[in-house]
Each structure stands twice: as structure tokens, then as C-alpha cells.
Amino acid sequence: MSKRRNAKLTSAAEAIGLINDGDTLVCGGFVGAAHPESLTAALEARFLESESPQNLTLVYAAGQGDGKSRGLNHLAHEGLVKRVIGGHWGLVPGLGKLAFENKIEAYNFPQGVICQLMRDIAAGRPGCVTHVGLGTFVDPEMEGGKLNGCTTEDLIERVKLAGKRWLFYRSFPINIGFIRATTADPSGNLSMEEEAIIGEVLPIAQAVRNSGGIVIAQVKKLSDEATSPQSVAVPGILVDHIVVAGEDEHAQTFAESLNRSYFSPAKNTESIAPERMVPNARRIIAARTCDEFLAGDIANLGIGMPEGVARIAAERGILGEVTLTVESGPIGGMPAGGLSFGAAVHPEAIVDQPSQFDFYDGGGLDFAALGAAQIDSRGNVNVSKFGTRLAGVGGFVTISQNAKRLVFCGTMTSGGLVTRVENKQLKIESEGKILKFVEKVDQISFNGPLAFKSNREVIFVTERAVFRLVEEGLELIEVAPGIRLKEEVLDVMGFIPLISEDLQLMPKHCFQ
């Protein structure tokens, strides 16, 4: 059987040589987890040496990068790509710069839709029909997911089925698939035993194969033992070429070479003990958000500010009372942060990413805490595009549209904000230059009025004030002890919110 696998073994450079000008390439991975670094690095090297291939269409679901040079940042060269359809842009600033300068066609689709679309392409369906994206900038009645002026082709349609409005994301053929696994067995079967996530490796391989394309798999090692059938993530029949990763090109995440807790269960939740957070604005927001958990909640915590909520939950010993999930696939345990985001410490299970989004799409989340870059007077939220920066939505649209209860987390201002806690009171030492509560957001990533009409509970937690979504927009319901209402809340907002007749102080325990 090893002859079957060995016939597929090749170098990264040889595999990359199979890519032609104008091909459509889909790449798997989540930040750094399960990203095939050997393959993207080799593609960059070929282009820099020969200026080939050119004019690729790049498709990816989750953001894959370190914000600098790794991941899909390898592909941020003018001429190498002509079109990018991505779920999250924040970690690939080179591609974002090309998009801002109108040097590539740029689309931002919800992360879950892209990985589910791989299944539809594999199955020969015309596209993905979903409610995800309605009422946001992804909706063709707004921007259709287009990020710049040179992006003109409509890839999303509004359709009406069974008396309801839906979004239809069109299928397209894929020529090349980049995926990653831990091990290739003698038959070329791929397993993910040391990966932090499973991701969408199987849908990618099936979509590429059924499009008549080429599947290239990066692995960490080869095994002479056949993999247990139930442990095969991608059957060898779907893999055309196997590349054994180069040194330092198969780290488990972009922050850690190998952390066994990301694929090992814990004996109990008390064994998960992160370092305590320091008493600052981030901790205040995380502590107040953690107050919103209910016993039995199935929850999702977003990247950035909400990452601290998991650490507070661990400090309080309530990880056993709630189940934290990550859109990449982990269920249970404690989500990791930073460049290990996507992994979870001692998860109870890891499912594939499209299946996790199926669960989210159908309303499976009881609770979610997400970041917010801009919030406006109607309760709309922008996390995707502001000024010259393209961040993208990632899993935000799916999660924010479908979680039953929702908290948006963030400081009132940014760009120089300095706070301190003294005697259980908050002091603003230096105000931020950038107002985050504005009259109108630059782009609608979350539609407040639609959320209110669907009777969903939405609150906005900052270090100094808490608001809730009401029919008229935002209502101020709590203020931090020590904060002056007019000078340090109302005067740093681009609009005047409603003020509750029962205005409360934020809980004192958040300021310990």
C-alpha cells in the first residue's frame, strides 16, 4: 500500500509547479492552525523567482496569517492574485493593501458560508442558499460583499424560496486545493491527530476533485501503519500530491510549535487554570460580560476583547457550567487566544468547521460575546471595514445573526485610552482619540433593527458603561462607579442614547 502513497510524494516546489496562470486556488486553515505553510511559502518563492503563476483567484474561509509575513501573506504580491474571496482579512494586511489600492478584486463573505460552499461545489449544487448575511454589507441590496471599486461582478443574489428571502452564493470550479494534515498513511489517507482543528479539509478535497482539479496536501510525517478508518480525515483517493513539511513550516499554530492540550481532554475543568488577568479595561469588560452567562449555555467567544471572558470564567470556576465553542470546530474546554485563536485548551470534542457553522446557523448558540469596532445610534455594528483597514467579518455575521443572546465588547474609545482602577472605582487618565460609538457605522456587519425585530437580547459592554438594544436604538443601563455620566460617557459618543430611568452602577466585583 505504501507504493500508493509514495507515488504521490513530491516536493513543495514540484507541487507548486502544477499551478497555472488564472487558476482558482482554495486554501484551508484558521489563523495558523492547519494552514499549509510549506505550500504558500513555496508559491511565493516561485512567483518571486519566475513571476509565475499570475492572476490567481484565491479563496479561503478563515483568516490565515500572523499579520506580518506568514500564512496567506505569502501571496500578497501584485500580479500573483487578481481576485480574493476571503472570510477574514485582518491577519493578511498585504492582501488588504492590494484591495485598498484597487489592485485586486476583493470580496468578503461570511466564513461559515465559504466553508459550506465547498460542500455545495463538491456536490455539484449551484450554490449555497442561506439567511446568513441578510441585512449586512454582504447583502446585494447593500454592497454584495464587494470591498473596493474594481470589484464589480455580482457573486451573491437575493432569492425568494417558500415565501422567505434568502441569499444565494454562487458555486464556481476550483483548480487547486491546499490542505494540511498531521500524517499520511501507506494508502495516502490523511489524519489530523496533532492538529488543533479539523477545519474544512474534506470539503475542500472533495470540491477540488469533483471540479477536475488538483489536491495538494501538506503533512508533518509519514506512517507505515494504516490509520484507523474512523480517524481518516481525508481519504487518499482524494489526494493527488503529498508534501512533507519543511522545518518550522508545520507549527501547530502561529504562536506554538506543539501544545498537546489542544488535542487532549482534561480530567476536569478545574485543571484549566490560566494566568489571572490584570485589573484593567480589558478585565472589566470580560468580567461584566461573564456575568451574562447562564448555567447550561452553549457559547461562542470572538477574537480580541472577548477572549478574556474565557479566562474570567476559568477564574470563577464556571467552565463546567457552560460549554464554550469556537467556530473552527472545538467544543468545550477554554478557547485559546492571540495567534493560537481557533484552538481550545482541553476540548471535549473537535468537529469539522462546516458542521460547527451548521449548528450556529440553526440557532444552536445560547450566547455569544463578540468584539465591536464601531456602534451606531440604531445598534448597528461594524467590525469589517474602517478607514484604510480591511478587517473582514470571519465568523462574526453567522454568530451575531443567530446567537439567542449577544454581547458586544469593547472600550468606549480607542487610540490612547488609559484607565486605572482605584478603590473599586474606574478612573480615566487619558481619553482615546477615536470614538467607537458613532452616528452611523462605516459598514454594517450586524444589523441592530433586524435583531430587535427578531426579539433577540443584545447588550453592549464597555469598561465604563453598559447599553442594551431597544426599538429606538441604544439605551444606557449601567455606568461604572467613579465615572462622570456627561463628561466621560455622553460626551464621547457621536449620538445621545436613551437613558434608563433605572440607571444602575456596574457591579463592584468587576473593579476588584
pLDDT band at 284; cut points 50, 70, 90: very high
**Mean of per-residue pLDDT scores for the chain:** 95
Does residue 254 fall inside a structural domain?
no
Does residue 249 fall inside a structural domain?
no
221 with 313, same domain: the answer is no
b vs e for 57-72, b when ≥16 Cβ sit within 10 Å of the residue's Cβ? bbbbbbbbbbbeebbb
Does residue 284 fall inside a structural domain?
yes
222 with 276, same domain: the answer is no
Give the separation between CA 55 and CA 81, rounded to whole angstroms.
Answer: 5
Q: Which of 184, 185, 191, 156 lies closest to 171 in space, CA to CA?
A: 156
pLDDT tens readout for residues 217-251: 999 999 999 999 999 999 999 999 999 998 899 99
Does residue 468 fall inside a structural domain?
yes
Residues annotated as part of the active site:
327
Res. 471: pLDDT tops 90:
yes
- Grid cell locating 308: 478574556
Domain limit, last residue, from 244, 260, 294 = 244
CA dihedral 320, 323, 324, 328 (to 10 degrees): 130
Report pLDDT for 1.
61
235 with 351, same domain: the answer is no
Domains contained in the chain, number: 2
Three-state DSSP at 433 gives coil
Give the separation between CA 200 and CA 181, rounded to whole angstroms.
Answer: 11
392 with 280, same domain: the answer is yes
Give the separation between CA 132 and CA 115, rounded to whole angstroms.
Answer: 13
Residue 364: give the domain boundaries: 269-511
459 with 375, same domain: the answer is yes
216 with 291, same domain: the answer is no
Does residue 59 fall inside a structural domain?
yes
198 with 297, same domain: the answer is no
CB 464 within 8 A of CB 425: no
Q: Please report which helix (H) or strand (E) contains residue 205, including its range.
A: helix 201-210
Does residue 56 fall inside a structural domain?
yes
Give the separation between CA 199 and CA 196, rounded to whole angstroms.
Answer: 9
pLDDT band at 512; cut points 50, 70, 90: confident
Res. 376: pLDDT tops 70:
yes
How does DSSP classify residue 463?
S
217 with 277, same domain: the answer is no
320 with 171, same domain: the answer is no
Residue 415 neighbours by CB distance under 10 Å: 11
371 with 440, same domain: the answer is yes
Does residue 259 fall inside a structural domain?
no
| Cα 74 off chain centre by | 19
219 with 345, same domain: the answer is no
Report pLDDT for 194.
97
Report pLDDT for 268.
67
CB 274 within 8 A of CB 261: no
pTM here is: 0.95
Domain limit, last residue, from 196, 228, 244 = 244
Pairing of strands 298-301, 323-325: parallel
Give the separation between CA 55 and CA 74, rounded to whole angstroms.
Answer: 15
Which CATH number goes with the domain that contains 183? 3.40.1080.10
Does residue 469 fall inside a structural domain?
yes
Domain limit, last residue, from 176, 211, 244 = 244
pLDDT tens readout for residues 93-120: 999 999 999 999 999 999 999 999 999 9
326 with 375, same domain: the answer is yes
